[in-house]
């Protein structure tokens, strides 16, 4: 029976590419293993896989009875609903340690770096296995995506070093241009249903017993979102109600201006003031310099909810 | 402020030596860091540190406000009571993934091998840092201890390979003899208070909401324990009552015969039958081939309690 490796719900490019890369590495180490995704590809991920001619993993949502590796998450809320019936062989991640537990020893590589693919690059090196050209390409894109082309507060020297080596292995000479091409695809909103935009990079968190959803849209210029912003505001209010959530926050991140406008749907808007010291107006607030959900938004909100 | 690195409560040789080794490695990587232990050294650990002339870490039980690394555990029940007020920088371990969580990204090296020191050996290699002779010696002893001189079901090829390299680095030519010397110290019970024997290698677990304590005494011959067995049986009944526990199990492991006699104090002895298919008599049962609490006893008991 094949082991499955997959990232979080609402897969981003790191979750997709890390699953593909870890499957490649583990296959070369003798395991029978297949990458999977928990939901449809984003336009960005599609662009990345097509650019390097890598096949998309199948969408799988049930893992009962399976051996599995988790990448890019260790939170039950971001895992398959039946994860408890799967046998977790390992976790490769770069987030805070979540509430996934196991009843058997397992293999965890979880490092405080900008992207899961940076960790997997080290795993290839550790095992002295060469990274194929196409896999190097998609790993490079995953790091550029997660670190917002090295601009995110989560970006470390290890990420930059990994990108240098991966660009060489993938035959990419202009990493910056590749990153901008990718973010232009990510920025495109025309013709996309509003709910799909809200969920494009969305995660639910348990903050002190409250269900809190945080989505993020990264664009090369906030004005791209002007036409849809009112609809986004309406939709996060709907999403909050549907799931019995305490709050839904949508970060509209301008990767050039390096900050985020937060759209707020919350039972208690004061958590935003508590978390960031900025006062929302009309359920919106601009947070200068805030680009990373993981490193800047989630920890501050968790403190505010505590 | 110095970061602290420590293993689980009732520290075994791995918890002590892994803390010392990780502190050495991280110091060489530029961190200000000190090893600590959560309780007094066992006679075995004392023997190991004295043999290689390594200073014992200080006993520390409060970590509020500190930066910390955890070694050899990821369970809250085995962590300091105020761990929630510490900032966890990382975890190096070889057990199942426990219920410790963090609010910040961290560094986890958790591998399904026989001993934390096997993982730390790889971390030295990964960082291309040489292991000092004395530290290599105590790491070697930790692996021999955790794997019961390679006889435990938890022992992997990685453990054996690490020991080979560590023995060379420590200038040890007869690894087997070193292991037997250490286990003879561990086997000695004369003059030791009964409660100290019960707690020598003891851990509390949360099994489906029930508090379950499991201790283990490893000896080179079970007959060594004949004189104290009746007192051990009485004491685990007392220990069960004191802590409001559902059960306390004490494994008397014969490392030569390769099996364990389990002394049972439980509200429901049938969990042992459910877990191992063997029927207790007079609150005792012999489990042939069972030597590893982590790999054989805990997973089976967790299923029986589920
Ligand atoms: Mn990621
Ligand atoms: Mn250990």
Domain boundary among B184, B202, B236: B184
Residue A244 placed within a domain:
yes
Both B200 and B301 in a single domain?
yes
B202-207 sheet: strands from edge to edge: B202-207, B210-219, B247-254, B259-266, B284-288
Helix (H, G, I), strand (E, B) or coil at A190: coil
Q: Is residue B299's pLDDT more than 80?
A: yes
Nearest CA in chain B to A122: B126
Residue A222 placed within a domain:
yes
Both A154 and A300 in a single domain?
no
Residues in chain B within 8 Å Cβ distance of A126: 122, 126
b/e per residue B187-226 (b: at least 16 CB within 10 A): bebeeeebeebbbbbbbbbebeeebbbbbbbbbeebebbe
Q: The domain spanning residue A301 has which CATH number?
A: 3.10.310.20
CA B37 to chain centre: 12
Across A88-94, average pLDDT: 98
Domain that holds residue B165: 3-184
- Give the nearest partner residue to A102 out of B97, B108, B154, using CB atoms: B97
pLDDT at position B256 = 84
Mean per-residue pLDDT over chain A, rounded = 96
B85-139 residue pLDDT tens: 999 999 999 999 999 999 999 999 999 999 999 999 999 999 999 999 999 999 9
Nearest CA in chain A to B205: A103
Both B149 and B274 in a single domain?
no
Spatial separation of the C-alpha atoms in residues A17 and A180, rounded to whole Å: 18
pLDDT at position B190 = 82
Residue A239 placed within a domain:
yes
Tokens of B242: 């004191």
Q: How many helices (H) and strands (E) does chain B have?
A: 10, 11
Find out whether A94 and A75 touch, Cβ atoms under 8 Å.
no
Q: How far is the CA of B109 from the centre of ligand 1 (A)?
A: 18
- Choose the weakest-confidence range: B75-84, B112-121, B185-194: B185-194
B99·A99 Cβ contact <8 A: yes
Both B149 and B207 in a single domain?
no
pLDDT at position B220 = 85
Tokens of B4: 């602290």
Residue B92 placed within a domain:
yes
pLDDT at position A187 = 86
pLDDT at position B69 = 98
A299·B103 Cβ contact <8 A: yes
Q: Across the strands, what pairs with A285?
A: A262
Using DSSP bridges, classify how beta strands B259-266 and B284-288 pair: parallel, antiparallel or unpaired.
antiparallel
Both A175 and A45 in a single domain?
yes
B104·A299 Cβ contact <8 A: yes
Residue A189 placed within a domain:
no
B97·A111 Cβ contact <8 A: no
Across B258-284, average pLDDT: 96
Q: How far is the CA of A180 from the centre of ligand 1 (A)?
A: 18
Structural domains in chain A (count): 2
The residue among A108, A152, A155, A293 with the most chain B CBs within 10 A of its CB, best to mutate, is A108
pLDDT at position B16 = 98
Both B12 and B152 in a single domain?
yes
Across A194-221, average pLDDT: 94
Q: Is residue B1's pLDDT more than 80?
A: no
A8-63 residue pLDDT tens: 999 999 999 999 999 999 999 999 999 999 999 999 999 999 999 999 999 999 99
Spatial separation of the C-alpha atoms in residues B297 and A97, rounded to whole Å: 26
Q: Is residue A1's pLDDT more than 80?
A: no
Both A13 and A58 in a single domain?
yes
Q: Which ligand lies nearest the alpha carbon of A73?
A: 1
Across B137-161, average pLDDT: 95
Q: Which ligand lies nearest the alpha carbon of A113?
A: 1
pLDDT at position B277 = 95
Residue B65 placed within a domain:
yes
Domain boundary among A137, A164, A184: A184
Residue B128's CB is within 10 A of a number of other CB atoms, namely: 6
Residue B40 placed within a domain:
yes
Q: Across the strands, what pairs with B288?
A: B259
Question: Which spans in chain A are helix H?
Answer: 13-28, 43-51, 116-126, 133-146, 157-170, 175-187, 194-199, 229-242, 270-276, 298-305
What residues flank ion ligand 1 with Cβ within 5 A?
Answer: A 14, 72, 116, 146
Spatial separation of the C-alpha atoms in residues A96 and A73, rounded to whole Å: 8
Both B229 and B91 in a single domain?
no
State the residue for tokens 């965890």. Answer: A108
DSSP codes joined into one string, B149-182: TTTSTT--HHHHHHHHHHHHHHT-S-HHHHHHHH
Question: Which of A299, A14, A267 is CA-nearest to residue A138?
Answer: A14
Domain boundary among B184, B213, B243: B184
Residue A132 placed within a domain:
yes
Q: The domain spanning residue B127 has which CATH number?
A: 3.90.1640.10
Q: Across the strands, what pairs with B264?
A: B249
Spatial separation of the C-alpha atoms in residues A14 and A145, rounded to whole Å: 8
Q: How far is the CA of B232 from the centre of ligand 2 (A)?
A: 24
pLDDT at position B38 = 98
Both A7 and A134 in a single domain?
yes
**Chain B residues within 8 A (CB-CB) of chain A?**
88, 91, 94-113, 122, 126, 154, 294-295, 298-299, 302-303
Both A92 and A228 in a single domain?
no
Tell me the pLDDT band of B303, cut-offs 50, 70 and 90: very high
Both B50 and B169 in a single domain?
yes
A96-135 residue pLDDT tens: 999 999 999 999 999 999 999 999 999 999 999 999 999 9
Question: Which of A88, A87, A37, A33 is CA-nearest to residue A65?
Answer: A87
Spatial separation of the C-alpha atoms in residues A140 and A162, rounded to whole Å: 8
Both A114 and A198 in a single domain?
no
Q: How far is the CA of B94 from the centre of ligand 2 (A)?
A: 7
Question: Which of A261, A191, A248, A247 is CA-nearest to residue A219?
Answer: A261
Q: Compute φ and ψ for A260, nearest 5 degrees.
A: -135, 135
Question: Which of B226, B208, B200, B241 is CA-nearest to residue B284?
Answer: B226
Q: How far is the CA of B104 from the centre of ligand 1 (A)?
A: 14
The residue among A104, A146, A207 with the most chain B CBs within 10 A of its CB, best to mutate, is A104
């Amino acid at each position: 029976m094949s082991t499955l490796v997959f990232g979080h719900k609402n897969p981003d490019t790191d979750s997709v590419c890390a699953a593909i890369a870890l499957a490649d590495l583990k296959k070369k180490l003798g395991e029978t293993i297949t990458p999977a995704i928990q939901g449809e590809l984003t336009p960005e991920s599609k662009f990345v896989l097509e650019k390097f001619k890598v096949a998309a993993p199948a969408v799988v949502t049930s893992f009962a009875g399976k051996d599995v590796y988790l990448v890019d998450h260790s939170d039950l809320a971001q895992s398959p609903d039946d994860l408890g019936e799967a046998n977790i062989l390992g976790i490769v991640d770069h987030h805070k340690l979540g509430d996934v537990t196991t009843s058997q020893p397992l293999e965890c590589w979880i490092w405080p770096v900008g992207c899961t693919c940076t960790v997997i690059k080290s795993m290839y090196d550790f095992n002295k296995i060469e990274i194929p050209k196409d896999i190097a390409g998609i790993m490079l894109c995953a790091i550029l995506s997660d670190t917002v082309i090295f601009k995110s507060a989560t970006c470390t020297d290890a990420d930059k070093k990994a990108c240098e080596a991966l660009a060489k292995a993938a035959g990419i000479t202009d990493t910056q241009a590749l990153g901008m091409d990718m973010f232009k695809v990510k920025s495109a909103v025309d013709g996309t249903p509003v709910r799909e935009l809200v969920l494009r990079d969305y995660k639910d968190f348990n903050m002190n017993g409250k269900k809190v959803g945080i989505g993020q849209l990264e664009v090369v210029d906030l004005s791209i979102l002007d036409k849809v912003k009112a609809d986004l505001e309406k939709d996060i209010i709907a999403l909050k109600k549907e799931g019995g959530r305490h709050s839904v926050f949508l970060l509209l991140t301008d990767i050039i201006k390096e900050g985020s406008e937060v759209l707020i749907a919350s039972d208690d808007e004061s958590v935003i003031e508590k978390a960031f010291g900025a006062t929302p107006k009309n359920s919106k607030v601009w947070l200068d310099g805030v680009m990373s959900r993981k490193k800047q938004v989630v920890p501050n909100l968790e403190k505010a909810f505590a």
